[in-house]
Structure 1
């Protein structure tokens, strides 16, 4: 085997690593374009009401201030369509910044001050006076409990809960063991390290290049092209690097609109960067109330399952999440009822946040499953295996592949689960109560249509490109690996380009579908390039491949060679030099095999085992060990995949113990809108984390057999920790995060 034949599956270092650690990687706010002006956003201090007057004249007199944009002058500059939606907009009318004098939520952007320098713009924005007429607002979902709500609907790709099956109410009442409880987690905000920014470069011909922080350059391009009446050639969007997204960059955020608007009006380049506080003004994981009822038969099998959820949305959009559906498919149960409702509040529309819906729903379900196991006197792992679902009862379809049982067994073995004393408060380490808990998860395996282009030059270098994104997950690296393997080139000879609307179209980077979607397109375009190379090789004098068909050859070690006679080979670099061509190009796309995929239910799965130590006197909780066993099809890069899951585990610790955005309902404003008070784990909170990848083959999901891992790695972590806290202390906490006051 050659030294660079098999790249797929190997723990390959990030190809973009050197650029990031040396500072060569440029982010949205780091493009120093000529004649650059700076915009600072002014946010509303009230949650609901009307703007009476913007006193812009004093600010405009400040030397260096170029403009003050507000609803008083913007409608004549930008063209809006109330019905226009970006690719991931939910039902309703999207928020249109600076469109009118109505204030819909606290921290709403209500003005943009543009100046020659950032310092002047920031100062001018700080003294801009605005007169308001305040109205009563409603931001507390707890007050919505007694109202009737519309059923969840609207969001593209979101599936409403399936109709009830069996007789869930009757069978629950007859069950040998029963539980019913409410589970709550508050709002959470994405908080990636890099704040949202757009640097819009204005060109003399009136076109623009927007260097934007986004998880989908084509989505952002479509948005600004529609609003400002620009052709796609006039509106290029570039995102080469992104300092974290977690879903916050799926929709175009308002700084993109403001930067482009100001650049077109002033006919000069403009940068708009949001503050950390303003990062809390768009999108969040919604505050959700959940209610779960479980009943078991005498043998420990589920007799009935009911799961209902109520979460918030804005007044102007109907954001919905797939919260409860997972409960009808993760475990075998013939009597199931699932419900989902929305509450309209005076907040900005929630937004997809890593594993949207599933991360919320799995917390309630998996804590409830732990409670049910305890009630029935069963081990939590054994209880789940007794209720193992061999088919998707929601869809009435077989799984394309499912190795969750192996996740349970391998994760438990690695963790040492057999040593667990099931009695709460029975395990100690000095003055620390020790608890062991576990939980599981399921996430969709999806493929989207994608395109890619490949260019091979005479010096043997390959460039592959697609307009996907890399939000830090390793897209640059895994696409380089795929291309290197399928054309048999050394990885050093391959370059992958992304994040530019001048490149072939790719879907948003979200939903854990990028590897499957763009990876398949890269595979296809490299095979197309291989066919072109073979044709050229067959024209070479004395070619040993003259009569070979494409299936007869393989691309290995920089050569095209016969599979059955590897000594009969042609060096790839020699092919182009012999042809006299400077380069070969290929471009193609990849679409899902819907006929095949529609016959199956396609998902990744995991099982999480967590150890906590709780100080009996102080109530402090430390997560000391986590084992996360993941079955996610073919793993493209063991190193980046492990990093993805490690990051998800850390986030799960955050969800379980720390992360919560606190709303002061008197003001209708999130109060801890900063890194100091929005608590997330630091190094001291992260101890022994282990990741296991359970081998899984799947020929249905896509030609590469890969499933996403970024989101499945989060599922089950928070619930496993909450279950471990119960095992340690005997106290069941159903409102996350688990704080000291809930244990003392």
Structure 2
């Protein structure tokens, strides 16, 4: 239809975030900031052993603290129902952070597990009283040392979401016969979530009706999860998350803080706020698994890859966690003649791991792209040229076509903009005073898809548009992007569009994870806008005196706040006024079954992914080994860019997080007790402004024809390849190949 070919006025532009003023003035309220009459405060009591049972609880001193309302333990807490097992027929089962039925059992499954909740009139009283609760344990043998347990790893099972193995030809024989080869072992440590807003919940019961304020990435699935755990109708639960102060995967699951806040509110009959301390996040919210990886590459003298072997070991918890797709990028990036991929897992008595920005790919690309760079050194070949020679025309493993792939163009443009030709090939040859200068490059890759979303659009007689969908705003400008799309689809000014989101009273949106939210909501939004235009057209073409009377919709264009053709047109306000209508509404619903069918169909037809190239310059102090990232360029193929400003911001954020992965971040676990020993931002080091250079981001902005509006997804691709780009630049500066993250001074001296 001609009306869907509306000239874009807003899509692609660098529009300021619509919620920017609210956030910068303090008007925006986050999960812990809602006042309620009679609001009580809760604090957690954490287990001090990795595995065992609580044999006695001494809460007398805690109960004696002025202002304490109750102390809930397994001895007196109301029962919750256990979490359901993972099922692709019930996607809400994906958000169970752990399988532990908190306070319904005396069992301890990891060091830090919440074993009691103190509820008091003030947060200070709750925290102090929690410190006075004494637990006595019967300790059982525990496995908490990942390195020691690695030999006990077992093959990971493939699933609809993650394929754990792949074979093409005989990679082992090809590696042995290759004229040139590298065979490397990489390790990456655990990582913990550190969103600006620590996890917080406010829960309030009214009979069987429950209201929850929660920083959440998955409102619809979380609501269903809570309904099942507390045995109440799903429709009786309202969850609100209009603003989320950072998510990155950690707020995509239901963790102990949420469940115990709801439980405490039910037990006390009071609204309860439970805001985790930073240390509490480390002990109750999962993070990224550690990994060991073997990457072996074989090639002919001209660089043509004859063998690619990538195997991994990661961890899950005894009571939850999911395997990560560490070898996923190795399926798709290089046209190796023989490929062997395997993922293995080991089960430990630790807090289960969970989603963390680009789970699997972020650390898997460190191994793969570092190995490719080392192969280039072995061959005496430019690392960009090596990648170009092995760029596949079709997917190397499945043989299906790529839906969209412009890596050659990204490398060419990036090399020109970064000044790659000025790179001296020899290691350690580029210097600036006491600094050794190195330049590194690595490929970024993350799969793309879109999920089910339900969107409602209302058009009012005054020309205003309201878009309604319970999607999530975690700082990426989601509402702004959807407003831009709606404005262009309906041909109205951007300021005429209002977007309502972050509330389960709205039509359900998708999880904000896997870089799927923008495309998922956009698909349904475009459909709803199309229905709305057809409804408006039906009113206009029957109205006496309308310039649209008798006109087919295919002849019209949505612009200037209405429907128009070459000879004239009418605004929406005029059409609705003529028809005596105050408003019109349209909805688009996409169900889970349709999503599953589409995902399986598309997987057989295409490989869909966002991709890109990182160019990194580092400076390494020749005496101290201090590493400074001094320059960065990322060139990305992420399909259509909806908002140039927020897309660049998302990609920069991923790169900054990747610099932390490369140089500073590491969760330290005591191998005797299973305790996280650096559970604070004083000891767990995330990048600060002084660690991050200006980051130049460029997007090719070429639509993927198989995706809604041609957009692919940008939330996660930015972090993939970053660790390798830094390591490759350090290799060039110093001649040393660092195989174990983070790249700290001791590994370079």
Structure 1 length-normalised TM: 0.96
Distance 1:112 1:318, change over 3 A: closer
Match of 1:19 among 12, 17, 22: 22
**Superposition map of 1:219-368 within 5 A:** 219-281=221-283, 282-317=285-320, 319-368=322-371
- Is the counterpart of residue 685 in structure 1 residue 691 in structure 2? yes
Partner SS, residue 719 of structure 2: coil
- Whether the aligned pair in 2 keeps the contact of 1:185 and 1:287 (CA below 8 Å) is yes
Partner SS, residue 388 of structure 2: helix
Partner of 1:168: 171
Match of 2:157 among 136, 145, 153: 153
Offset of residue 93 of structure 1: 7.2
Match of 1:216 among 205, 215, 218: 218
Partner SS, residue 704 of structure 1: helix
Distance 1:287 1:597, change over 3 A: closer
Aligned length: 734
Distance in 1 (CA, whole Å) between partners of 2:133 and 2:414 is 58
- Whether the aligned pair in 1 keeps the contact of 2:98 and 2:352 (CA below 8 Å) is no
Partner of 1:455: 458
- Whether the aligned pair in 2 keeps the contact of 1:458 and 1:582 (CA below 8 Å) is yes
Distance in 1 (CA, whole Å) between partners of 2:604 and 2:342 is 25
Partner SS, residue 486 of structure 2: helix
Offset of residue 393 of structure 1: 2.0
Distance 1:534 1:18, change over 3 A: same
1:644-690 alpha-carbon deviations (Å, 9 max, x no partner): 01111111111111111111112211111111111111111111210
**Superposition map of 1:63-82 within 5 A:** 63-74=66-77, 76-81=78-83
Offset of residue 95 of structure 1: 2.2
Distance 1:372 1:729, change over 3 A: same
Distance in 2 (CA, whole Å) between partners of 1:4 and 1:20 is 32
Match of 1:618 among 620, 624, 635: 624
Distance in 2 (CA, whole Å) between partners of 1:650 and 1:729 is 23
**Superposition map of 1:627-706 within 5 A:** 627-700=633-706, 702-706=707-711
Distance in 2 (CA, whole Å) between partners of 1:237 and 1:538 is 42
1:371-415 alpha-carbon deviations (Å, 9 max, x no partner): 000101100000000000111122220001110111111111110
Distance in 2 (CA, whole Å) between partners of 1:706 and 1:447 is 10
Offset of residue 127 of structure 1: 1.1
From the two aligned structures, give the one with the greater helix fraction.
2
- Is the counterpart of residue 184 in structure 1 residue 187 in structure 2? yes
Distance 1:133 1:322, change over 3 A: same
Partner of 2:580: 580
1:226-281 alpha-carbon deviations (Å, 9 max, x no partner): 01111122211111110001000111111111111111222221111111001112
Distance in 2 (CA, whole Å) between partners of 1:52 and 1:287 is 32
Offset of residue 445 of structure 1: 1.3
1:480-519 alpha-carbon deviations (Å, 9 max, x no partner): 1111111111111111111111111122100001111011
Deviates more, 1:551-560 or 1:420-429: 551-560
Distance 1:81 1:645, change over 3 A: closer
- Is the counterpart of residue 721 in structure 1 residue 726 in structure 2? yes
Offset of residue 152 of structure 1: 1.2
- Is the counterpart of residue 707 in structure 1 residue 712 in structure 2? yes
- Is the counterpart of residue 436 in structure 1 residue 442 in structure 2? no
**Superposition map of 1:372-451 within 5 A:** 372-451=375-454
Distance in 2 (CA, whole Å) between partners of 1:89 and 1:619 is 43
Deviates more, 1:318-327 or 1:149-158: 149-158
The unaligned stretches of length 5 or more in structure 2 are 1-5
- Whether the aligned pair in 2 keeps the contact of 1:90 and 1:154 (CA below 8 Å) is no
Distance in 2 (CA, whole Å) between partners of 1:654 and 1:349 is 22
Partner of 1:545: 548
Task: Please provide the CA RMSD for this pair.
Answer: 1.8
Distance in 2 (CA, whole Å) between partners of 1:684 and 1:153 is 43
Offset of residue 62 of structure 1: 3.1
Distance in 1 (CA, whole Å) between partners of 2:294 and 2:646 is 37
Distance 1:49 1:389, change over 3 A: same
Partner SS, residue 518 of structure 1: helix
The unaligned stretches of length 5 or more in structure 1 are none
Deviates more, 1:9-18 or 1:48-57: 48-57
